[in-house]
Amino acid sequence: MVAQKQRKPAVGFIFVTLVLLIVGIGIIIPVLPGLITQFNGGSVAEGSGSYGWLVGVYATMQFIASPILGSLSDRYGRRKVILVALAGSAVDYVVMGFAPTLGWLFVARMISGVTAGALAACNAYIADVTPPEKRAQAYGLLGAAFGVGFVIGPAMGGILGQYGLRVPFFGAAVIVAANWLYGAFLLPESLAVENRRPFSWKRANPVGSLMALRKFRGVVDLAWMYFINNFAQTMLQNVWVLYTGYRYHWSTLQEGLSLTFVGVMTAVVQGGFMKRIIGLVGERKALVIGLVTSAAVFVGYGTATQGWMIYALIVLGSFGGIAGPAAQSLITKHVPPNEQGALQGSLSGLLSLSYIFGPILAAWSFGHFLNAIPGIAFYEAAACLLIALALAFRSFQIDDRLSAKSAA
């Protein structure tokens, strides 16, 4: 690794890392479904099925690798894991850009899935450098980083896609390579030596990492709530381009611009309003408000008859995004500093599970009910969010009961 001057770890460093990472991801979103459909002979129904399986393969590899990389970051530090993950992502985009067949796209996504631990390490980085009472705000700032990344990425993808479906993949590779250079020269390590712990395969394997969550009170229901919330979000994300193209006849550029608007609103709400919302209502109420808002907006997406309505729903739906940072903050408060990497690896594993099954269900539902109920995936996602809401309430009750028992 490149030698670096001693710098004090801060949220700002990881914010830049995440912005660049999400820009790379966002660039390919407007064109990947089109490339897959092209490999399927132009059939939208078959292309949607292949797209779901492609995302599922990526998520499966991420599910396996994330707990391992999270535990490795507890042992060797966050920075090294982030740099390795970024290098793998750059290779992935180059392979996808040159892919001659659909099979090569699957190989590339497997590589990227293995190295997707960058997000888990970034989340652990935040827990390292922020006190518990400020973590919801910090995770909100990371949400803003996602927003900024999705402002720039899909817009770039939509523009570059005008010159060919493969061009954005090489643009993504360049962005991620620049991110690696930033990390190598400027990103400081956040995990103090005294907070590191030995690596253990028992904790690092996917099943073991999820089982380990049981030892922390109040975490299990919140963790599964986090999973179901992300499951619903992946259903939205992975039929967005297919749905808007089919129902509203949007072009690649229009789809990219709509995702850019999603990014703008995410950055505005999570970067500008998250602190105020948490300060006003607290983390628990913010979580409930976010889940209820998202469920209502998802129903709206599936029902909207005109493309312009989608933009009004995006504005409201951006406030639903407060649920994720609130949930992450609540979970991290139950876990000691030397296990934050393993925790984030477990949460990333759950996130990966949502990406395995969410896109498959959404893509199948969209393709199967294409002519009858094209918005069915959004209705299914709204139902999932109501289940997540029930789990959140149960977690609050369990935590309150255990706290009262401890105080007695």
pLDDT of residue 21: 77
DSSP string, 125-138: HHHHHS-GGGHHHH
| Gap between the Cα atoms of 14 and 97, Å rounded | 27
Give the number of C-alpha atoms closer than 13 A to the C-alpha of residue 104, restricted to the C-beta side.
Answer: 13
| Burial (0-12, 13-18, 19+ Cβ within 10 Å), 135 | buried
Domain borders along the chain are 11-190+208-402
| Gap between the Cα atoms of 366 and 33, Å rounded | 14
Any residues with CB less than 8 A from the CB of 396 and at least 6 apart, and which? 284
Does CATH number 3.40.50.720 belong to domain 11-190+208-402? no
List phi, psi (to 5°) of 189.
-75, 140
Go through the chain and tell me how many residues it has. 408
| Gap between the Cα atoms of 136 and 116, Å rounded | 23
| Gap between the Cα atoms of 293 and 290, Å rounded | 5
pLDDT of residue 159: 84
Beta-carbon count within 10 A of 102 CB? 16
Are 149 and 118 within 8 A, CB to CB?
no
SS3 of 199, please? Answer: coil
| Gap between the Cα atoms of 156 and 161, Å rounded | 8
| Gap between the Cα atoms of 178 and 17, Å rounded | 10
If the chain, 408 residues long, is cut into consecutive pieces of 10 residues, what is the mean pLDDT of each piece?
58 79 78 77 67 75 79 84 86 86 85 75 82 75 74 81 85 87 84 78 67 68 87 84 85 79 82 81 90 95 90 92 84 72 71 76 80 86 94 85 70
| Gap between the Cα atoms of 165 and 158, Å rounded | 10
SS3 of 45, please? Answer: helix
Are 43 and 95 within 8 A, CB to CB?
no
**Greatest C-alpha distance within the chain:** 68
List phi, psi (to 5°) of 104.
-65, -30
| Gap between the Cα atoms of 214 and 210, Å rounded | 8
CA 135 to chain centre: 17
Rg (CA), the chain: 20
pTM (whole model) above 0.85: no
| Gap between the Cα atoms of 384 and 374, Å rounded | 18
Which tokens sit at 149? 């990344």
Beta-carbon count within 10 A of 233 CB? 23
Nearest to 330 by CA among 384, 398, 382: 398
Beta-carbon count within 10 A of 282 CB? 12
